[in-house]
Amino acid sequence: MSNCYLSELPYLFIRTLTGFKPTDQGDYDVTSTVHSDTYPEIDPTKLNLSGKAVLITGGSRGIGRAIVLAYAKAGASFIAAGARSGTVELASAVEEAAKSSNRPAPKYLPLTVEMSNRESVEEAAADVEREFGRCDIIVNNAGIFGGFQLIEEYDPDMWTNIFDVNVRGPYLITRALIPLMLKTGDAYMVNVSSAGALLTNRTLSAYQISKTAVTRLAEFVNEEYSEKGILF
């Protein structure tokens, strides 16, 4: 892999706050060039996703919001953004993003969803099926960081909550939408992970272990469903 974008952002954040360098612990040479902006290979305006339906979790701000707008620029016909709040207000930005690339405005579905809650996630999945009738791409972006604490200092509820959002959430939404994705025969799941999945830095146990787990989840989806048409 010669380039990296989404997965490097949490690393840059951690490095800024802690002064961590790649040689301190672990190995960050997974990419020869670290990018802080879009590069030609992932320029959404060069894609044509007409007819495709995509769901982005954690889509109301930050990386998630940028992904939502990128899919609008890429011409996706159906875009759903899920988050605890703020997805309704994103509608005009989605329309403007599509317009900026001379693409038709997609059908936009704002979803209020609690990613760690099974009932909430399954309701969101049902909304996607009812409104779009298909799901070609899931982007599991929703996640929380949790701060810097030694294991003995971490509140157990907070430690577990990081797993609920970062691991249970992607599992629940993927599980709920697999039947719909299998109908397309050509679907994709994207889990936004982190270089932290490969590193071991003190005070980051919950976050880094959760990112290892969500990376493995993607590998298992590929193992169990790639021959049926779902890739990661």
For 152-209, how does the pLDDT look when each residue is reduced to its tens digit (9 = 90+)? 999 999 999 999 999 999 999 999 999 999 999 899 999 999 888 989 999 999 999 9
| Domain boundaries of the chain, sorted by first residue | 45-231
Q: Per-residue confidence at 31, pLDDT binned at 50, 70, 90? A: low
- Are 72 and 98 a contacting pair, CB within 8 Å? yes
Looking at residue 96, its pLDDT comes to 97
Is 173 in contact with 121 (CB distance < 8 Å)? Answer: yes
Q: Which of 28, 73, 154, 211 is catalytic?
A: 211
How is domain 45-231 classified at the CATH fold level?
Answer: Rossmann fold (3.40.50)
Q: Quick one: 119 exposed, middle or buried, by C-beta within 10 A (0-12, 13-18, 19+)?
A: exposed
Helix (H, G, I), strand (E, B), or coil: what is residue 33? strand
Residue 127, pLDDT score: 98
Q: Residue 147 pLDDT more than 50?
A: yes
Q: Express each pLDDT in 66-124 by its tens digit.
A: 999 999 999 999 999 999 999 999 999 999 999 999 999 999 999 999 999 999 999 99
| Catalytic site residue from 11, 71, 108, 207 | 207
Residues 6 or more apart in contact with residue 1 via CB below 8 angstroms: 30, 31
Q: Is 71 considered catalytic here? A: no
User: How far lies 42's CA from each of 10, 35, 38, 207, in Å?
Assistant: 19, 11, 6, 27
Q: Does the annotation count 225 as an active-site position?
A: no
